[in-house]
Amino acid sequence: MADKLTVSYGLLLPHSKSVQDTHILPIAKILDGDGENGKFLLTCGRDGSVIRHEYDLNGDLINCKKLQAHSDWVTDVIEVNSNQFITVSHDFSIVLHTLNLNLDIWETKIIGDHDDYIKCIVRINDFSSDSFIFATAGLDRKVKIWSLNDSESKLLHTFTNEQKNETGSIYTLTSLNDPLMPFDLVAGDNNGDLILYSCRNFIETGRIKRAHKTNIKCIKAIDNSTKLFSTSSDGVIRIWSILSEDEYIPKKLTTWDWGCPIWCIHYQSLSELFIGDSEGKISKVDLTIVQNATTVTVFDGAKYLTNSYGLQKTEEQDDKKSTKKFHNGILSLCFLPTSKSLFFSFPSNSNLNKLDLTTNGLSIIEGGFALTRSSLLTNRRHVITENTRGEIQRWDIISCKLLNTLDSSEGTFDEVVVKYTSKEILSHWCSVSIKVGLLFVKLNTKFMDTEVYGSALEKYDIINGVGLNTDERYNLGKIMVNSLFNEFMKFEVQKDKLLREHIVAKKKESLFSLQKDNEGISTSSLEIDTTPEKKSKDKKRLSHFMKFGLGSPTSSSPNSSNVLENYNLSSSQMLSEDSENIVLEEQKSNIPSTMTSAMASTDKLNEDSNLSKGAENRPASSGSILNRKLKIFGSASKIPMMAQLPSTQALPEGYRTPEASFNDSYAENDESSKVPNSANSSMLLGTQSPFQQPLGANRPKVYETNNDSKIGGISVTTKEVTSKEEYMVDLLGEIEEKYKNQYNSNSSSLKLLTRKLPESKIIRDMDSPILKIKHGALLVVHSWGENACGGRVLFSTFLPTSGNGEEVEDKEGQFDEDELTRQEAGSDEFSEFDYVDYDYGSGMSRRQIFEQLENNLPYWFARALMQDTKNASEQTKLSFSISVWQAQDDIHEDKSKTQSNEENLNAPAKSSSYHLLKFGRSKQTEQVLGASDLPKVPDYNTKLVAPNMIKVKKIKAFIVERFESKTPEMKSKIDAKDWLELLCKGQVLDDDMTLNTVRTLYWKSQGEIALKYRRKTTSIGSPLTASLTPEES
């Protein structure tokens, strides 16, 4: 069973420029490294980002570069080289980051994954391998060994630590650098076991059961891998000896109780081991004499709270109790020996703290703010959030923007949610959550099941000129996706047109090349006068018969002669109007002996040299000449394919030419003349070659690369055809096959010569609104395995804004060979997509991002994008009944009404009715109509079923149309919504309220909804007075 794929997009926070390159959630890991341009710090946060900080000799940060690397906490990081790093995360992914210093951008690649949170990563010192070897481990109870070569990873082995009661999760790893040891990797699990692994032999060499009583949190090999430092969540520290005389079996040297859990350590030397604990203290431990270790506290959280480090107090720090709760524990730390500085972080904010051990001065690099919780409102467009500053904000997930930050006087988070919940209740089309401090919206296969009326979209900025009909329903999920991916679809529509043009061009080329060579007729080169005053239509006309390469009039076989040698008269008559602009050049060549039999058919052509003249020796019509030529071409298919076929125009390596898709005797990427194998010599056009690999199948694993090539500046992925429906690339392959089949079905040579392109398979609903998306979004594709405990990240990227946002319409056009020639000559029609967005450290052009989307978007999502039809999913139906209201039905009447109102409702008919206005003399006794004095509705129209999105005013119109007689209001042509009202359990319903809203707010059960109707009443309880003519009265 294939994994379920979902698409999520994250809304960006409106940070100021001063904090754009900072973390917004606590920093989980700090790494010191050496770069080409000097020393740097690498910080990884719970916000999923990685920041590279350069610093000077004093340890002051001078430059930084941020990358949004993961969609969940980054838990650990290792350095591959000065510009490459590997991170692991709670999003189950292992990511390689490469910093391009020339372009000052990050390049990322997912190179592996786990089935649960990944907690640690460590480099393995393999002295027998030139590859970079590393190990990862996590809560899936597995230790995976990987090799890395030229950014390509390979899983070498997996150790499984399955224990009783589903225990065995691994939180920490350390490696040893002694090649004589039987093991080179030590792991600590949640049972307190130390596990010894050999990554050279892929075996578990030993295990120390219950080395600690609780979960082992930190392990570190020290003193040239002769000792092992371990600590557990209960604060117990143990030092182990690993010596050859003990057969490298770890032996416990000493144990002491730290008094609180230890969260992080930084080992510099035996005399400088820094420990950060849960109480906010940083201590330096001297292990020179293990049995008599000394400890010095270098930072105390309590002194930090009392401002003993020279910090300027803030209003928040004045409240010591709340501040003490706010700053607790040391989450990560790193020591810089050159500047004698300690960098560390707290778990309660996103700041990076620097402590100068020489002066005891503390400086803070402040971080940004992050979201902490959210609530999706019932209109399914707005979300209420709260951030780390305590601010409550309202977001619009359709336009991807922050609407407003609410004043504290609005109330608490829950009170604000209740206050802004409207009576508009829509079904769920997405789910929202807070990840890495951002608001993420997750879509699944049912994201197009929700519709909204046009009246709800009036305040949005519609950029494609679609006029809204307030009473028409629009698909909410479709609007969101089309708006966010509008730029991407512009790219796909242009690329699709280019593909169809190539298929048409190559089909024609293969047709004429094959048939004429089978007849033994040679090719010629054409020279067309391209002076400015001459029109290009000459070239277009001639190209239908003479073009043998894409944009290349001279791409003919070296072993060919003039194709027009036997058609000079015909050609001149067909193009007589512009014949002075065309020069025919004969190419002399020897005819191979294999073509002798084929050339016999040319005698017939020579004998009929006067074909172009009629019986009266006048020029025949171009149509008749064309028909005769087509008959000649058609006869060529009966001649065995023994002649040497012309070469194709050279294309980028790896590109599967449309021509080759139609002629299976061509081998891919062979620029020389090709001779078909005897076994294939009788194959017809349209047969698929085993050498050709159409776009779209067998998508590689996430940590493998695709073999892509480019045509017209656009990447084309070559893969084998399968029926797999998993990713967008599979859909693109299906579309390409449909184009080929559609063109193959045009078996008539006349149809093959037409200039019309195959009809595009990309369908766009031009009546669907496209909204302006001001800010980009973070896009993440998750895979949800059957046995996995959460979503595994397959792909993530920054999705840029939609530019000018204009909707793209693939206008049905003719095949423009000049346009195709310009593209082949180097004119890039896709240059508009080469703009680079540097947001979140991406550094990729839009074209690169869009090509990645093709390989990673789920099939179901791509289908919704590329086959956008107006056919919405069937709406849920609700059953309800209608009946006339009676005064006694109002048992749930509002008790807040005055006593006079209650008396009016219970008064005789005269009090609860009104006298019809008289504009003339009445000829009969004055009529008195009450609120319930309405015509009867036939019984067969009282039990109804309707879509849950039908509005109350539509139900009113239905009721009025079913009355057995007309009311005075109907005769006056007064709209039903102006004089009739519907009630549910005594509550008057708003006209724009949907049936689904009525059930949710008032009926509150799954059974048949009971609706009552009556004339509208005034504020004092009497029916409204209608303006009637004398005749009606």
- CA atoms within 13 Å, Cβ hemisphere of 853: 23
DSSP E strands: which ranges in 319-391? 332-336, 341-345, 352-356, 361-365, 371-376, 382-387
pLDDT score of 123: 95
| Closest of 777, 773, 739, 776 to residue 495, by C-alpha | 739
Per DSSP, what are the bridge partners of residue 462?
771
Q: Is the pTM of this model over 0.75?
A: no
| Closest of 862, 829, 831 to residue 847, by C-alpha | 831
What domains can be seen in the chain, in order of their start residue?
23-278 (2.130.10.10), 279-367 (no CATH), 490-752 (no CATH), 877-1015 (3.10.20.90)
Q: Which two tokens stand for residue 729?
A: 């690339």
Per DSSP, what are the bridge partners of residue 251?
241
> Residue 888: what are its φ and ψ, rounded to 5°?
-70, -10
Total residues found in the chain within this entry: 1033
Q: What are the per-10-residue average pLDDT scores of the chain (1033 residues)?
A: 84 75 93 79 94 88 87 94 92 91 80 94 85 95 94 94 92 91 94 94 93 94 92 94 80 92 92 92 91 90 65 44 57 92 93 92 91 95 95 95 94 95 90 94 90 91 90 91 92 91 74 55 40 42 34 37 35 34 35 40 41 41 41 39 37 37 34 34 27 32 39 41 76 90 66 69 89 89 81 87 51 47 52 67 77 93 85 76 80 46 44 38 47 84 90 91 90 90 91 90 91 74 44 40
Q: Using the CB atoms, write b or e for 811-840: b if 16+ within 10 Å.
A: eeeebebebbbebbeeeebbeebeebbebb
Q: Is 441 exposed, middle or buried (0-12, 13-18, 19+ CB in 10 A)?
A: buried
Pairing of strands 203-208, 451-453: unpaired
| Dihedral angle sign, alpha carbons of residues 298, 300, 306, 307 | positive
| List of residues 6+ apart from 911 with CB closer than 8 A | 904, 1022
- Which SS3 state, helix, strand or coil, does residue 186 take? strand
d(CA 911, CA 279): 77
Per DSSP, what are the bridge partners of residue 342?
335, 355
Q: Which two tokens stand for residue 200?
A: 């050279």
d(CA 167, CA 186): 18
* Angle between helix 817-824 and 486-518 (nearest 10): 100
> Residue 764: what are its φ and ψ, rounded to 5°?
-120, 130
Q: Which two tokens stand for residue 445?
A: 């296969």
d(CA 157, CA 236): 32
Element (H, E) at 50: strand 49-55
Q: Which residue has the tokens 């397959």?
A: 794
Q: Is 750 exposed, middle or buried (0-12, 13-18, 19+ CB in 10 A)?
A: exposed
Q: Which residue has the tokens 């997930």?
A: 397
Contact 420, 384 (CB under 8 A): yes
Q: What amino acid occupies position 296? A: V
Contact 824, 145 (CB under 8 A): no
> Residue 356: what are its φ and ψ, rounded to 5°?
-85, 110
Element (H, E) at 295: strand 294-300
Our CA dihedral for 664, 667, 671, 673, rounded to 10 degrees, sits at -60
d(CA 182, CA 194): 15
d(CA 304, CA 298): 12
pLDDT score of 767: 87
Our CA dihedral for 237, 242, 245, 247, rounded to 10 degrees, sits at 110
Contact 148, 166 (CB under 8 A): no
d(CA 772, CA 487): 11
What angle is formed at CA 321 by the lines to CA 316 and CA 326, rounded to 5 degrees?
60
| List of residues 6+ apart from 441 with CB closer than 8 A | 8, 9, 10, 11, 397, 430, 431, 432
| Closest of 154, 144, 223 to residue 185, by C-alpha | 144
Q: What amino acid occupies position 242? A: I
pLDDT score of 663: 36
d(CA 657, CA 508): 13
- CA atoms within 13 Å, Cβ hemisphere of 900: 3
> Residue 940: what are its φ and ψ, rounded to 5°?
-70, -5
- Which SS3 state, helix, strand or coil, does residue 264 take? strand
